[in-house]
Amino acid sequence: MSDTVQTEKEFSIEMIPEPEKIEEIIYSLMVNPNLSTINYFNDFSEQNISPESIGSSDTDETGLFDLDNNGNAMAMSTHAFHHHLESDPQKATEILISRATRKMLCFGAKPIAVSALLYHINVADPNGGLIASGAKKGLENAARKFNLQISDRKIRFDNFSEHGIVPPTIIVSMMAQVPNKKNVTTHTFKKKGNHIFLIGKTRDDINSSEYLEFFHGISDSPLPAFDIMEEIGIQKALKKLNEEKLIESASPVGKGGLFFTLLRAAIPNNLGFDITTDAETRLDAFLFGESMGRIIVGVNPGLEEEFVDAMSDLKIPFFTLGHVTKGEIRVDDESFGFIDKMTVGV
């Protein structure tokens, strides 16, 4: 967006000293409620929700629902974002839709439609119109780039002057088609010995991350690194890898960064991971940064050569991370114990 609504305070990663040890960061972030997999409605409501009424939990926050007895299914997900809607609503909206699309494509679903609701826009504030205009541009641009239909677009105007400041928030819901539920590629690691690859570029970027906000207490930073054309390339790669059945798991790097994405993939089957970080990228940015356009995939060793050839043909950057273990967590040859001690709060 050419005209920003609000000037950002300058932030640079150099303001944050690069950590020598990551153990304190890991265990501090584990108590962050934003990184918890607890279903608060199911755990604390007076009457539990019936498991039959919700989608499969093996798709990492995306519901998967049967349409018939022939294996056809539908996937649904909902995502919300409030970061920087006041400073760059177009980019923020594009990031949110890219994130939702990337997650759908990870397990082989075909995104079809997206709806967007813009909340908490103060009609008494002249910036409200600029935020709505920027969010609309972001929605339409992302839908066009990713070949999505827009099913709805609404703005809920609120004036919360008596209740303090409530940040503008955009919520998107996405629907996708799953031709055959048996061929779904879930986010979970499948077995010990599988190779782990990171698809996409690594960057010295910790902007708007849980690490920066929760561990360092800095909430005023720019949006994470994002390039919509890179997202299109990543989407093409995911489609090919799924069609040729070259991956056994796929998960977009999300909240908490690479480390917590690996944990979410390891926990369901009580597996672990042994990875080596990128020496050219800051340790905290590599493990806890939340820059866009990155996917973690698990590859059967017998298909590694075909996977590498496919990625080379696509000319998409990828990085060998390591392998799936029986349960131990290792980073750069340092052990952090086993997966059972990592499940609290994740």
Cα–Cα distance, 241 to 246 (Å, whole number): 5
Residues 48, 54, 59, 60: is their CA dihedral positive or negative?
negative
- Fold entry, domain 61-182: 60s Ribosomal Protein L30; Chain: A; (3.30.1330)
Is the pLDDT at 157 greater than 60, yes or no? yes
Cα 40 versus chain centre, distance: 20
Give the residue ranges of DSSP H helices in 162-256: 210, 228-243
Report residue 50's pLDDT band, with 50, 70 and 90 as the boundaries: very low
> Residue 153's pLDDT is what?
81
Dihedral-angle region of residue 177 (phi above 0 means left; psi in -120 to 50 means alpha; beta otherwise): beta
Tell me the per-residue pLDDT of 85-140, one tens digit each, with 9 for 90 and over: 888 999 999 999 999 999 999 988 999 999 999 888 876 777 888 898 999 999 99
Average pLDDT over residues 48-57: 40
Closest CA to 294 of 324, 267, 325, 256: 256
Closest CA to 14 of 284, 290, 257, 287: 284
> Residue 1's pLDDT is what?
36
What does the domain layout of the chain look like in residue ranges? 16-34+186-342, 61-182
Average pLDDT over residues 65-91: 84
Report residue 54's pLDDT band, with 50, 70 and 90 as the boundaries: very low
> Which tokens in the block code for residue 277?
């970080």
Tell me the per-residue pLDDT of 161-181, one tens digit each, with 9 for 90 and over: 555 667 889 999 999 998 877
> Which tokens in the block code for residue 239?
């489609």
**Does the pTM of the predicted model rise above 0.85?**
yes
DSSP code per residue over 106-160: HTT-EEEEEEEEEEEE-TTSTHHHHHHHHHHHHHHHHHHHTT-EEEEEEEEE---
| DSSP classification of residue 212 | I
Identity of the amino acid at 268:
P
Architecture label for domain 16-34+186-342? Alpha-Beta Complex (3.90)
